[in-house]
Amino acid sequence: MLSRRTLLGALAISGLVASPLAAQEVYIPLISKGFQHQFWQAVKAGADQAASEAGVRITFEGPDNETMVDRQIDMLSAALANSPKAIGFAALDSQAAIPILRDAHESGIPIVAFDSGVDSDIPVTTATTDNVAAAALAADKMAEMIGGAGKVAVVAHDQTSRTGIDRRDGFLNRMEEAYPDVEVVTVQYGAGDQLQSTEVAKAILVANPDLKGMFGTNEGSAIGVVNAVRELGTEGLVVIGYDSGKAQKDAIREGLMSGAITQNPVGIGYETVMAAVKAINGETLPPIIDTGFYYYDATNIDDPKIQAVLYD
Amino acid sequence: MTATTNAPTSPTVLGRIGAAVAHQRVLAFASLIVLLAVFSLASPNFMQMSNMIAILQATSVNGVLAVAATLIIITGGIDLSLGTMMTFTAVIAGVVLTYAGLPLPLGVLAAIGAGAACGFCSGSFIARMKIPPFIATLGMMLILKGMSLIISGTRPIYFNDTPGFSDISRGSLIGEILPFAPIPNGVLILFLVAGAAAYVLQRTALGRYTFALGSNEEAVRLSGVNTIRWKIAIYSLAGAIVGIAGLLIASRLNSAQPALGLGYELEAIAAVVIGGTSLSGGRGSIMGSLIGALIMAVLTNGLRVLSVAQEWQTVVTGAIIILAVYADMLRRRRSN
């Protein structure tokens, strides 16, 4: 039995390790907030592109879901064991990882934050979307389409993460400041899970038959809203989503969704690795690298500029 | 019935079960050594003091949860609420220490007390109201997830105002004596909890009834034992241990994260099963679960240090769980 397990271990290791550690290579691990979602895969694609341009080796890892703060710290520990030249880190919690980041910082490893910052001056820079401004743009577009008055609702992905809070508050605050006749009747949370978000959105639609618009704050939430509209056969609802993915793009083309905010995930990954390389070379970096956001709808979804930042 | 007599199974049967459990422990321990050896050969970066400490640190929370799960699984039960109960106790500590500003020992007591109270509820649902453990603890899992969000106001609670709090898990008493091995207190606490639980299981009446309930609950009841009370006691003890896990994770993150917790129960159950405790009850050991938790942490860390793609890490971990349990089945069939 032991020999069988040994064999499995040996197989796993010989078969799966892509490249043995070369002596002089520059190794930059990226610890992300997630891994399976298409958004993070797009970030990874940008990081891979930058890695091959700069001639460095990267790895890209993230926990199974965005609540697993301690798992992410274990990933950081394992990454540090390989004595990296720099680390890219997208914090699930803005404070919890600070002690281990400080250890890395003290051993001279520069840290580039991406997507979400940390409450500390340890990172040399943060490559991120301005989520508050992006969600405010979603509020402007929604108010414009519903004629500046009526009831709207928000399906958000979570209550505790920085992006969850910023997108919700960016939307709510903009509505409150600029559009007094628009009433946000409720904010509900679907954990970014398509099925949960569908149920949440259906409940909101059933409870508010006079609802004029709905905003889904990430890919899973937005697809949930679209599913709810499809299942209930609701007509005339203005749906604004966030990020992209095939289902969301199809919904925009079909007219079920009015439009969506897209970040530039490929750009986030690319800028993170490039910033890390610059930090290793001792160049100074700005505190924030704004990777940008766009509003897209059926009219501009095929523009090359928009196509470049969307993912399937 | 006194505390020292009337173990419900005959000494020979007990002896045979003891030997079988010991055997599985040896097997699990040997597997752990093999894993360590394979990873050390595959990467020069694996076998460093700092990485070994990282592995132990990663084991501490899951290990304590696995100790709690072992007690419950030996009775033939299951507890799906371990993960969210851990979060709940962490949130209670946050409320006591950060929101109410009370001193550290009260926060520690509150977390452990909250865990024991949750365990008491689960135990009562199962033993008194006869709800199957799977359902009762599924309900508790959801109740506690929701309560954590409600009590915390859906925000993480930080422990910045309680200076000693992060030392519970991250400080190192051992490191002050042995500077070359700064093993974090969280790991020390795991071993203390495991030692205490092993003592309870092997040397006390509560321990003997834990095994007896898992082997043949009806026989225990017919012999005049108040099975309801003992079962509730076991679930309460497991809950108190979960409270310790809650303190460890909150201390490590210097915050109580109210949304965290789902999924941790399954990893704890996996560690218990790898360690040779039978899901059908009546058989198992704390030591085995501890080794099981270490195996999972070594595997996860080792695959990461080797930069194995994450998709494959998950596949390998799943395969190891099945292999470990299959090995146990083979061995038991042979010994019968």
**How is A80-96 classified by DSSP, letter by letter?**
HHT--S-EEE--SSTTT
- Contact: B308, A8; criterion CB under 8 Å: no
B42-61 burial, b if ≥16 CB within 10 A, otherwise e? bbebbeeeebbbbbbbbbbb
User: How does DSSP classify residue B96?
Assistant: I
Q: What is the structure's pLDDT at A233?
A: 86
Domains of chain B, residue spans: 17-335
Residue A87 β-bridge partners = A111
Pairing state between β A293-297 and A259-263: antiparallel
Do A30 and A46 fall into the same domain? Answer: yes
The reply to whether ipTM tops 0.85 is: no
Structure tokens of A48? 């891979």
- What is the rounded average pLDDT of the residues A247-270? 93
Measure B193 CA to nearest chain A CA, in Å.
21
Structure tokens of B44? 């020069």
Number of domains in chain A: 2
The rounded percent of chain A whose pLDDT value lies above 70 is 92
Q: What is the structure's pLDDT at B94?
A: 96
For chain A, say whether B196 makes contact (Cβ under 8 Å): no
One-letter amino acid for residue B316 of the chain: V
pLDDT at A12 over 60: no
In chain B, % helix, strand, coil (3-state, to 5) comes to 75, 0, 25
Q: Does any domain span residue A75?
A: yes
Other C-beta atoms closer than 10 Å to the C-beta of A206 total: 12
- Contact: A9, B35; criterion CB under 8 Å: yes
For chain A, say whether B12 makes contact (Cβ under 8 Å): no
Residue of A2, A7, A13 to mutate when probing chain B, most B C-beta within 10 A: A13
- What is the rounded average pLDDT of the residues A8-13? 47
The per-residue pLDDT for range A34-88, each reduced to its tens digit, is: 887 788 989 999 999 999 999 999 999 998 887 889 999 999 999 998 889 999 9
- Contact: B301, A64; criterion CB under 8 Å: no
Q: What is the structure's pLDDT at B331?
A: 73
Query: Are B88 and B197 a contacting pair, CB within 8 Å?
Result: no
For chain A, say whether B325 makes contact (Cβ under 8 Å): no
Q: What is the structure's pLDDT at B20?
A: 57
Residue A292 β-bridge partners = none
Q: Pick from B54, B258, B327: which is nearest to A77 by CB?
A: B54
Residue A240 β-bridge partners = A215, A259
How many whole angstroms separate alpha carbon B41 and alpha carbon B18?
Answer: 35
Q: Does any domain span residue A7?
A: no
- Contact: A159, B263; criterion CB under 8 Å: no
Other C-beta atoms closer than 10 Å to the C-beta of A178 total: 13
Q: pLDDT band for A23, please (50, 70, 90 cuts).
A: very low
Other C-beta atoms closer than 10 Å to the C-beta of B19 total: 11
Q: Which residues of B touch A81 (CB under 8 A)?
A: 45-46, 48, 50-51, 54, 301, 305
Q: Which of A134-148, A165-179, B151-165, B188-202 has the lowest mean pLDDT?
A: B151-165
- Contact: A96, B48; criterion CB under 8 Å: no
The per-residue pLDDT for range A102-127, each reduced to its tens digit, is: 989 999 999 999 998 788 889 999 99
- The dihedral through the CA atoms of A195, A199, A200, A201 has a sign that is positive
Do A113 and A137 fall into the same domain? Answer: no
Q: Does any domain span residue A187?
A: yes
Q: What is the structure's pLDDT at B14?
A: 54
For chain A, say whether B17 makes contact (Cβ under 8 Å): no
Measure A146 CA to nearest chain B CA, in Å.
31
pLDDT at A17 over 50: no
Q: What is the structure's pLDDT at B87?
A: 96
- Contact: B45, A82; criterion CB under 8 Å: yes
Q: Pick from B34, B61, B330: which is nearest to A70 by CB?
A: B61
User: How does DSSP classify residue B260?
Assistant: -
How many whole angstroms separate alpha carbon B227 and alpha carbon B243?
Answer: 24
Q: Which residues of B touch A99 (CB under 8 A)?
A: 166, 170, 254
Per this entry, what is the length of chain A? Answer: 312
Structure tokens of A144? 């414009």
Do A256 and A166 fall into the same domain? Answer: yes
- Contact: A80, B254; criterion CB under 8 Å: no
Sheet containing strand A57-61, strands side by side: A57-61, A27-31, A87-89, A111-114, A125-128, A288-290
Residue of A nearest to B304 (CA): A78
Residue of A1, A43, A64, A66 to mutate when probing chain B, most B C-beta within 10 A: A1
One-letter amino acid for residue B13 of the chain: V
Q: Pick from B48, B312, B327: which is nearest to A81 by CB?
A: B48
How many whole angstroms separate alpha carbon B45 and alpha carbon B160?
Answer: 34
Q: Does any domain span residue A299?
A: no
Measure A305 CA to nearest chain B CA, in Å.
31
CA angle B85, A71, B136 (to 5 degrees): 25
Q: Which fold has domain B17-335?
A: ABC transporter involved in vitamin B12 uptake, BtuC (1.10.3470)
How many whole angstroms separate alpha carbon B230 and alpha carbon B72?
Answer: 12
For chain B, say whether A304 makes contact (Cβ under 8 Å): no
Q: Residue A50's domain spans which residues?
A: 25-129+265-292
For chain B, say whether A23 makes contact (Cβ under 8 Å): no
Q: A148: domain CATH number?
A: 3.40.50.2300
Q: Does any domain span residue A38?
A: yes
Q: What is the structure's pLDDT at A305?
A: 86
Residue of A nearest to B327 (CA): A1
Other C-beta atoms closer than 10 Å to the C-beta of A2 total: 12
Structure tokens of A204? 């909101």
Residue of A nearest to B31 (CA): A2
Q: Does any domain span residue A10?
A: no
Measure B188 CA to nearest chain A CA, in Å.
18
Do A112 and A218 fall into the same domain? Answer: no
Intervals of chain B under pLDDT 50: 1-10
Q: Does any domain span residue A279?
A: yes
How many whole angstroms separate alpha carbon B169 and alpha carbon B221?
Answer: 41
- Please report, in angstroms and rounded to a whole number, the separation of the first and last CA atoms in chain A: 44
The per-residue pLDDT for range B80-136, each reduced to its tens digit, is: 999 999 999 999 999 999 999 999 999 999 999 999 999 999 999 999 999 999 999
What's the pTM value of the predicted model, to 2 decimals? Answer: 0.77
Farthest-apart Cα atoms in chain B, separation: 60
Q: What is the DSSP string of B159-201?
A: -TT-GGGGGGTS--HHHHH-TT----HHHHHHHHHHHHHHHHH
Query: Are B317 and B300 a contacting pair, CB within 8 Å?
Result: yes
Do A232 and A141 fall into the same domain? Answer: yes
For chain B, say whether A119 makes contact (Cβ under 8 Å): no
For chain A, say whether B255 makes contact (Cβ under 8 Å): yes
Residues whose CB is less than 8 angstroms from the CB of residue A174 and which lie 6 or more positions away in sequence, other chains included: A135, A136, A139, A140
Q: What is the structure's pLDDT at A21?
A: 47
Backbone angles phi, psi at A115, to 5 degrees: 65, -60
Mean pLDDT of chain A: 88
Helix extents (H) in A86-242: 98-106, 131-145, 162-178, 194-207, 219-232
Residue of B nearest to A92 (CA): B257
Q: pLDDT band for A18, please (50, 70, 90 cuts).
A: very low
